[in-house]
Structure 1
Amino acid sequence: MERWNNKPQPEASEDSEDLELAEPRPRHYWLYSPGPQASEWDEFSSESIMAIGWDDLDDLSTYPSREAIRQALNVDGAGGSQTNATLALWQFQNDMTVGDIVYAKEGRQKIVGRGEITSNARFEPERESYRHVRSVKWTHIGKWDHPGDAVTKTLTDITKDHDYVEKLEALITDEVDTEQLVSPSTAPIYDKAAFLSEVYLSETRYVRLRSLLGRKKNVILAGPPGVGKTYAAKRLAYSIMGTKDPSRVQMIQFHQSYSYEDFMMGYRPTENGGFIISEGPFYRFCEKARADDADRPYFFIIDEINRGNISKIFGELLMLIESDKRGQELRLLYKNETFSIPANVHIIGMMNTADRSLAVLDYALRRRFGFFELAPAYESAGFAQWIQSADNPMLNRLVSVILDLNREIIDDPTLGQGFAIGHSFLSQPVGNADEAWLYSVVEDEIIPLLNEYWFDEPVKAEQWADKLRAVVA
């Protein structure tokens, strides 16, 4: 769903009639620090606001450009380039809009809240500090372990980092889809053209992938880190449904302790010290699909499918998921009833090919799934369009170095194609591909990955680290 941007528009003139309406804008997602180590979080969450500092500055709406903010910061004695501060202040005032989602963080390790922006930016000079304010409906307040280390900036637009956003949504909202929840009757149309405009995949490969899922009912998207497997899986489901209807898509994540009882059903303790049979997400999803029109497809998405013990998790379902066994019934382990998997249920798994800690997938699973490789798409038309729109020479040079790096990784007999650096590392919103962000991607994401790849060849890892640092220094 799209909204009208509330960013202030230039004053109308005789030749500016086309500026009367703002451009349509999709929802954005932001990572935000409510003071150092979330020092202001108690106040902000209780007052349903978010606010940022730099209190020596006047009302941010009075600054017509980023450069004006940068100059004001330097005049006030901050010194330095103030790149991150300038960007945060400008985005807080001009780029954020009502309906955007904000994740509040505590340092680099914790998320403490999630909310929806409900007002334009305003200046409250009567406040002792943090005078630049927006109203926020904080829908979730608590404390969650951040997946990895969060960036240290006060405000970061993370909209284009689709995998990251979806991880945060699953972490905080219990697997709510990142798309705004809509009723099936009003869900927007989503077709092949929409898929190809958002996922860096050729039309020929999309047709092949869609045909594979239709034939096998079960597909695993395999690829190295950062190729957008999760994002592609959901968009594939939407494109087959013909609409963005998250009510027919569910996502879970396997891990080493995940079991049949978590997946299908099992006994759970009660408050009274007894036990009760509890149905798992896959059982409930199949029953929901069975009750619907059989011609309406449903999609069950499993992240990190190779992290789980497949035989332990699927149990007797391993036979029932086969495409030619759909509709056949087996008696369940924990219930005195028979169960079948409806023909309109499709399973999409994701597998990180660079995870050396995982065993090779069970051959029984391989026979039941089609496998589709997703590779880095730096040379695709979609990524080329993003590079052009970003208009950042440093980003262009970094892509060139990563292409050379990937050739080295692919040619390495101990690594190969499955360890290449994915394009999602460098997929960010237009206007946010600044030097500080690129430096963080290199230093905090790519170089640690190379140190892991070549842990027994530290000289090679350091050589490539130097080449990458030379671009963003």
Structure 2
Amino acid sequence: MTVEYTAPLDRTWARLRAALEILAESSSPLTAGQVWPMVVERFPLNDYEQEVTTGKQNRGRKYWQWQSLLVSRAGWLDKTRSEWRITDAGRAALATYDDLVAMREEATRLYKEWEATRADSGRRAWLVRPDSGGAGLVQRWRDEGFVSLAGTHLGEIESGADLTTVKAAIDSGYQHLDYAQKRALADAYHAFVSRMGNDDIVLTVVGDAISVGVLTGDLVFDPSADAARLRRAAEWLDTAPRPVDELPAPLPALLDQQGTVVDLTGALEVLAEMIGQATTTDAYLEPSTPVHTTTVVPRLPAASPELSAKLHMDEPWLQELIDVLQERHQVVLYGPPGTGKTFVAQAIARHIADRDAVRLVQFHSSYTYEDFFEGFRPVANGGFELKDGPLRELSSAASLAPERPFVLIVDEMNRGNLPKIFGELYFLLEYRDASIRLQYSPTSAFNLPRNLFVIGTMNTADRSIAALDAAIRRRFAFVELHPDEPPVRDVLANWLAANHKDTDERAALLAALNEAIGEEDRDFKIGPSYLMKPHVEAPGGIERVWRHDLLPLLEDHYYGRLHRDQVHARFGLPALRQRLANSTAEPAPAEEPAEQ
């Protein structure tokens, strides 16, 4: 008795089981084209399955062909060549699973086991562009189940040929091209011939429409083929076109890379999820429904009471800083000297990221792009080698662990020549999902991972932020740390209270000093960190801080406006203590009016 199946996935799997039965009954291997008519004879197509969706194949054939990939990965079907064979495991599955749902669930389980094993064994992903063939060639790929390179002037190359051999073949066959074109061709053909392998994921793009598939066959050289002499068999996923800018990161950035064959292994996890969903569920049966895959920026930990106690700052203010960093990815803490900018940056970084995911660099007048990102460095043999800088090193680590936040702290940011240091990286600070060609690595695209956060610090006494490059101001959120404003205003008093020094004069002295400096020199007011160091507790410690730290700083600032004696008379410790004493003295009682 023939069972009537109505659900699309059940009907497809009924035909897959029938295919295994047909192969088990056959005394020799069969091609997919031979098996399909016999399958349809047992389970005829309904009207929906007879519709042609893309190319020349109807919907039923496409679903059946694609799901056969899962049966193959389960180990039940050998289809590595043009012929199909049932395996011993496939015969055992026919004998074991009478129920179609149980059979499909077991195949899905085996597929997932294979997928996990394959992910750890060097599986790669590739973008292959159709060159001059355009959309018409891509349609052939999908209809006939392959992917190809033209190889018009190329002699036969064996699979596994090294790059030198491929370059020699390119030089011989493409003498009409210049050296740059030959080099690009050699890289593309070497990847296609020797680096690709069965089960690798392949993707192609025509306009904004992407097609995704899996390589299922070895390299084939066909000198008689027109514009497709080098081929690999591929099973293409039958999904609706998806706009490139709606794809999950890092795919859009990687697709910006130039070249006929581009390594997309950086997006392997995303592509494998797309393939896995289509293979193990019935999502592929509705072409209008895209496969949903997303790359989520790691959620930063919330501010905690412990962080607040460590920094002596209010928890809501710290939470707002973390929220801004989460939203903008780049934050600058700016303010006068001694306001704790670097200390706060390090504390926030270590609160939101592991210690090995935090890196600090300090800019200065001789710091360059080559120091910060990448540049050539001399090596022992007298030559030069391209070396990564801290930003590139941290970016590489972040891209390998997208679920973890990484933080780069740029201290004294405004002391460097920012346009010179950042160069073309300005663009990536604003567009994290895009990629660019680098001046020292022009053959590969680079993008800043979305899980890399940047915290800069700027001292307004060195240079006002108003003088900053407008491009850098637009790409960073600016958060002020100022002695007159919370939370910095209350840090010293909070610290003294936490250390049971409520009667200490330091908070009052600092307030008096900043009041004497005045609003006209707001950027040069003094932060509390000068008075929070251990040596201040020693006898004469406060006097030494004033004499060796604060007064020289103020002498430098007021140079040309006040003489040294005037600076000491206005901001010296005796003058400030006297001012505090006068302000706390009780006012004299009012005189009684004289009697008339």
TM-score range, shorter chain: 0.5 to 0.7
Contact 1:264–1:282 at 8 Å: present in 2 too?
yes
Counterpart of 1:420 (choices 513, 516, 525) is 525
Where does residue 248 of structure 1 map in the other structure? 357
1:32-431 alignment to 2 at 5 Å? 191-241=303-353, 245-292=354-401, 294-322=402-430, 325-335=431-441, 336-356=443-463, 360-376=467-483, 379-380=489-490, 383-387=493-497, 389=499, 391=501, 395-396=504-505, 398-411=506-519, 413=520, 415-416=521-522, 418-429=523-534
Contact 1:410–1:419 at 8 Å: present in 2 too?
no
Measured against aligned partners, the alpha-carbon deviations of 1:385-440 in whole angstroms (never above 9, x if no partner) come to: 425636385x41x43232122123232x2x21x211110011134x9612232221
Contact 1:300–1:347 at 8 Å: present in 2 too?
yes
What is the TM-score of this pair, normalised by structure 2? 0.43
Q: In structure 1, how many angstroms separate the alpha carbons of the residues matched to 2:491 and 2:384?
A: 56
Query: Cα distance 1:444–1:342, how it changes in 2: closer, same or farther (>3 A)?
Result: same
Where does residue 12 of structure 1 map in the other structure? none
Instruction: Give the secondary-structure state (helix, strand or coil) at the position aligned to 1:225.
Output: coil
Measured against aligned partners, the alpha-carbon deviations of 1:147-183 in whole angstroms (never above 9, x if no partner) come to: xxxxxxxxxxxxxxxxxxxxxxxxxxxxxxxxxxxxx
Kindly state the Cα deviation for residue 467 of structure 1 after the two structures are TM-superposed.
Answer: 3.7
- Which amino acid is the alignment partner of residue 364 of structure 1? A
Instruction: Give the secondary-structure state (helix, strand or coil) at the position aligned to 2:499.
Output: helix
Query: Cα distance 1:381–1:314, how it changes in 2: closer, same or farther (>3 A)?
Result: closer
Contact 1:255–1:307 at 8 Å: present in 2 too?
yes
Instruction: Give the secondary-structure state (helix, strand or coil) at the position aligned to 2:334.
Output: strand
Where does residue 29 of structure 1 map in the other structure? none
Contact 1:401–1:468 at 8 Å: present in 2 too?
no
1:453 and 2:560 are equivalent in the alignment: no
Pairwise CA RMSD of aligned residues? 2.6
Kindly state the Cα deviation for residue 375 of structure 1 after the two structures are TM-superposed.
Answer: 1.8
Where does residue 439 of structure 1 map in the other structure? 543
Query: Cα distance 1:352–1:442, how it changes in 2: closer, same or farther (>3 A)?
Result: same
- Which amino acid is the alignment partner of residue 229 of structure 1? K
- Which amino acid is the alignment partner of residue 332 of structure 2? I
Instruction: Give the secondary-structure state (helix, strand or coil) at the position aligned to 2:540.
Output: helix
- Which amino acid is the alignment partner of residue 555 of structure 2? N
Q: In structure 2, how many angstroms separate the alpha carbons of the residues matched to 1:319 and 1:420?
A: 35
Q: In structure 1, how many angstroms separate the alpha carbons of the residues matched to 2:319 and 2:530?
A: 26
Q: In structure 1, how many angstroms separate the alpha carbons of the residues matched to 2:449 and 2:498?
A: 45
Measured against aligned partners, the alpha-carbon deviations of 1:256-297 in whole angstroms (never above 9, x if no partner) come to: 1111111111111222221111111110110001001x2311
What is the TM-score of this pair, normalised by structure 1? 0.53
Which segments of 5 or more consecutive residues in structure 2 lack a partner in the other structure?
A: 1-300, 579-596
Contact 2:325–2:331 at 8 Å: present in 1 too?
yes
- Which amino acid is the alignment partner of residue 220 of structure 1? V
Query: Cα distance 1:372–1:358, how it changes in 2: closer, same or farther (>3 A)?
Result: closer
Measured against aligned partners, the alpha-carbon deviations of 1:198-224 in whole angstroms (never above 9, x if no partner) come to: 113222321221111111100000011
Considering only CA atoms, is the larger Rg found in Structure 1 or Structure 2? 2
Instruction: Give the secondary-structure state (helix, strand or coil) at the position aligned to 2:370.
Output: helix
Query: Cα distance 1:382–1:224, how it changes in 2: closer, same or farther (>3 A)?
Result: closer
- Which amino acid is the alignment partner of residue 426 of structure 1? L
Kindly state the Cα deviation for residue 298 of structure 1 after the two structures are TM-superposed.
Answer: 0.7
Instruction: Give the secondary-structure state (helix, strand or coil) at the position aligned to 1:333.
Output: coil
Contact 2:482–2:488 at 8 Å: present in 1 too?
no
Q: In structure 2, how many angstroms separate the alpha carbons of the residues matched to 1:261 and 1:451?
A: 37
Where does residue 570 of structure 2 map in the other structure? 464
Query: Cα distance 1:392–1:201, how it changes in 2: closer, same or farther (>3 A)?
Result: closer
Query: Cα distance 1:342–1:198, how it changes in 2: closer, same or farther (>3 A)?
Result: same
Structure 1 runs of 4+ off > 6 angstroms? none
Instruction: Give the secondary-structure state (helix, strand or coil) at the position aligned to 1:349.
Output: strand
Instruction: Give the secondary-structure state (helix, strand or coil) at the position aligned to 1:435.
Output: coil
Identity within the alignment, % = 35
Q: In structure 1, how many angstroms separate the alpha carbons of the residues matched to 2:417 and 2:530?
A: 29
Structure with the larger strand share: 1
Q: In structure 1, how many angstroms separate the alpha carbons of the residues matched to 2:539 and 2:502?
A: 9
Contact 2:569–2:575 at 8 Å: present in 1 too?
no
Q: In structure 1, how many angstroms separate the alpha carbons of the residues matched to 2:469 and 2:576?
A: 43
Contact 1:392–1:433 at 8 Å: present in 2 too?
no
Query: Cα distance 1:432–1:237, how it changes in 2: closer, same or farther (>3 A)?
Result: same
Contact 1:442–1:468 at 8 Å: present in 2 too?
no
Contact 1:218–1:370 at 8 Å: present in 2 too?
yes
Kindly state the Cα deviation for residue 355 of structure 1 after the two structures are TM-superposed.
Answer: 1.0
Kindly state the Cα deviation for residue 460 of structure 1 after the two structures are TM-superposed.
Answer: 3.8
Query: Cα distance 1:356–1:314, how it changes in 2: closer, same or farther (>3 A)?
Result: closer
Kindly state the Cα deviation for residue 234 of structure 1 after the two structures are TM-superposed.
Answer: 1.4
Q: In structure 1, how many angstroms separate the alpha carbons of the residues matched to 2:307 and 2:317?
A: 12
Instruction: Give the secondary-structure state (helix, strand or coil) at the position aligned to 2:454.
Output: strand
Where does residue 73 of structure 1 map in the other structure? none
Q: In structure 1, how many angstroms separate the alpha carbons of the residues matched to 2:413 and 2:309?
A: 27
Measured against aligned partners, the alpha-carbon deviations of 1:327-386 in whole angstroms (never above 9, x if no partner) come to: 311111111211000000000000001114998210000000000001226752663342
Query: Cα distance 1:272–1:211, how it changes in 2: closer, same or farther (>3 A)?
Result: same
Structure with the larger helix share: 2
Paired residues in the alignment total: 272
Kindly state the Cα deviation for residue 443 of structure 1 after the two structures are TM-superposed.
Answer: 0.8
Where does residue 30 of structure 1 map in the other structure? none
Task: Give the structure, 1 or 2, with the largest relative contact order (CA under 8 Å, sep 6 or more).
Answer: 1
Contact 1:254–1:305 at 8 Å: present in 2 too?
yes
Q: In structure 2, how many angstroms separate the alpha carbons of the residues matched to 1:359 and 1:319?
A: 21
